[in-house]
Amino acid sequence: MSELLVGTKKGLFALEGSPGEGFDVTARAFAGEPVEYAVRDPWSGRVFAAVISPFYGPKIFLADDVDGGWEQAAGVALPEGGDAALERIWVIVPGEADGLLYAGGDPGVLFESHDGGASWELSRGLWEHPTRPSWRPGGGGLCLHSISTWPGDPRRLAIGISAAGVWVTEDGGETWERGNEGLVARYVPDDTSPDDVPLCIHRIHRARTRPERMFMQFHGGVYRSDDAGASWNDIGAGLPSDFGFPLVLDPTDPDSAYVIPLNADMDRVTPEGRVRVYETRDAGETWTPRGDGLPQEHAYLTVLREAFDRAGDDDGFELYFGATSGDVFASGDAGATWSAAATRLPPVYSVSARR
Amino acid sequence: MPTVNLRGPLKQMAGNRGEHAADGETVVALLKNLERAQPAVAGWILDECGDIRRHINVFVNGEPAQAATAVGAADRVDVLPAISGGSR
């Protein structure tokens, strides 16, 4: 039995079930409110939700379960009296120690909790980085959407910011270095100074069994790093489009990753009206479409960057993704075959899965 | 002292009470005092910059008000979600 936490335009939905056997909606929280992301912390078992109220601002809430008892987390705000306000929380990631969690948001901010998510602190090292005035937003804002921990080492992180690039820390966030060598931004002239190129990272993930290996979905480009994010190699050849948002890695094989291509930056739907997940098993040398059970005609779906996840850390892992159409799809065999887990939900912003 | 009326989640967080007495010569000063008296609503009406959130409407005696609108001792201040809000 697997649990899906689905963040949508109109609330958080909890689903339970198994791929191929059906899923039930077991709870709905924050009815009517946009829930950008939700996750269950494997250390404590508690659920966290990033609720982005257009009226009352972005907040993180926590509870033992989706069906009630939500409390607001403290400290999720920028410094008072400044000239910037927190716009959105994009992602919440459990850390590499009990009680440690991270949250990424707009404007390019990182929060940390050391008490299991009850209270949070702004990462000052990133907030006060001297290059921050030059950071420029992507279409979705200046979003810190990806946080990749280093297995067993809480001091090491890689983060992705659209459109301020990849940043890496090895000292718990006190200092940060850029990790953008090799990225090619086709949306600016070739002769644009590197210092003036906004780097629209869409998603990054780290291979847990070989942590220096990372994969990236870029705004036009799929990349692989073999040096923990310092530099990147283009591995997009063979995909119907190298534009897309989400990315998931095989938990056991550092050469394997999954992307969901979208047609183009000017047409952000699945190519040719066919929904396909693409898999690589050779670190991006080749890509194979996996669409058995997914709609293969008249299906123009948009899958957002936080809406693709896996459940399980062994070679029998499951894959899930949701679309802004309100559909959620599930695979119980690492992407070989797919079935519908939910239909007619509100537009899906995120999917977080646990088995 | 002016009276502040809260609805919905703001009312729930403020001790499930809709009506509050709060002082302040301007709307924003009054709202800051309200946040001090009702810490649970801190960050829900005003953002970190001290500005009224863009999709929150404030009325003084039924008239649309801004942050700098003066508030008199017998005035009624209503805090409401704006119809300009709603998820994207």
Write the CATH number for B26: 3.10.20.30
A24-56 pLDDT tens trace? 999 999 999 999 999 999 999 999 999 999 999
Domain boundaries, position A97: 83-354
Residue B53, min C-alpha distance to chain A (Å):
7
Closest in A10, A52, A85 to B47, CB measured: A85
Q: Which residue of A has its CA nearest to B54?
A: A55
Tokens 């040719």 belong to residue: A272
The answer to whether the Cβ–Cβ distance between B87 and A9 falls below 8 Å is: yes
Residue A232 resides in a domain: yes
What percent of chain B is modeled with pLDDT above 70?
Answer: 97
Q: How far is A25 from chain B (nearest CA, A)?
A: 22
Percentage with pLDDT > 90 across chain A: 94
Q: Is the dihedral of CA A244, A286, A167, A174 positive or negative?
A: positive
* Domain-embedded: residue A55: no
Q: What is the per-residue DSSP string for A268-311? A: -S-GGG---EEEESSTTS--EEE-TTS--SS------TBSEEEE
Separation between Cα atoms, residue B30 and residue B24, nearest integer Å: 4
Percent of chain A with pLDDT over 70: 100
Q: In whole angstroms, give the CA distance from residue A61 to residue A151.
A: 26
Residue whose structure tokens are 């829930």: A35
Q: How many angstroms away from the CA of A54 is the closest CA of chain B? A: 6
The overall average pLDDT reported for chain A is: 96
Question: Is A308 within a domain?
Answer: yes
Whole-angstrom Cα distance, residue A20 to residue A330? 8
The C-alpha of B31 sits at a distance from chain A's nearest C-alpha, in angstroms, of 14
Residue B68 has what pLDDT? Answer: 97
Mean pLDDT of the A137-153 span: 94
pLDDT at residue A140 in the model: 87
Say what the pLDDT of residue B87 is. Answer: 59
Between strands A177-178 and A165-169, the pairing is: antiparallel
Q: Is A265 contained in some domain?
A: yes
- pLDDT tens-place string over residues A171-228: 999 999 999 999 999 988 888 887 788 899 999 999 999 999 999 999 999 999 999 9
Q: Does A37 reside within a domain?
A: no
Are A55 and B53 an interchain contact pair (Cβ–Cβ within 8 Å)? yes
Per the domain annotation, does B61 fall within a domain?
yes
Residue A228 lies in a domain: yes
Q: What is the mean pLDDT of residues A105-122?
A: 98
What stretch of H or E contains B28?
Answer: helix B27-37
pLDDT tens-digit series, residues A279-320: 999 999 999 999 999 999 999 999 999 999 999 999 889 999
The total number of structural domains in chain B stands at 1
CATH of the domain at A273: 2.130.10.10
Predicted confidence (pLDDT) at residue B85 exceeds the cutoff of 80: no
Domain membership flag for residue B39? yes
Give pTM, 2 decimals: 0.95
Query: Is A6 a member of any domain?
Result: no
Q: Is residue B57's pLDDT more than 90?
A: yes
Residue B86 lies inside a defined structural domain of this protein = no
* Contact list, A34 vs chain B (CB under 8 Å): 87-88
- Hey, are the CB atoms on A33 and B87 less than 8 Å from each other? yes
At residue B26 the predicted structure's pLDDT band, cuts being 50, 70 and 90, is very high
Q: Is the residue at B87 inside a domain?
A: no
Residue A339 lies inside a defined structural domain of this protein: yes
Residue B76: domain span:
3-81
Q: Which pLDDT band holds residue A239 (cuts at 50, 70, 90)?
A: very high
Which chain A positions have a beta carbon within 8 Å of B36's beta carbon?
A: none
Average pLDDT over residues A248-267: 96
Per CB-CB distance under 8 Å, the chain B contacts of A55 are 53, 55-56, 81-82, 85
pLDDT value at residue A191? 84
Cβ pair B85:A55 closer than 8 A: yes
ipTM of the complex: 0.88
Whether the CB of A81 is below 8 Å from some CB of chain B: the reply is yes
Which positions in chain A touch B88 (Cβ < 8 Å)?
9, 34, 54
Residue B62 covered by a domain: yes
- Nearest by CB to B49, from A33, A59, A85: name it: A85
- By the CB < 8 Å criterion, does A345 face chain B? no
Q: Residue A57: which of B40, B47, B87 has the nearest Cβ? A: B47
Residues in B touching A83 (Cβ below 8 Å)? 49
The mean pLDDT of B51-64, rounded to a whole number, is: 95
Q: Is the pLDDT of residue B88 over 60?
A: no
* Pick among A35, A36, A56 to test the B interface (most B CBs inside 10 A): A56
- Give the total number of structural domains in chain A: 1
Taking only the tens place, the pLDDT of each residue in A329-342 is 999 999 999 999 99
- Between CA A63 and CA A117 the distance in angstroms is 10
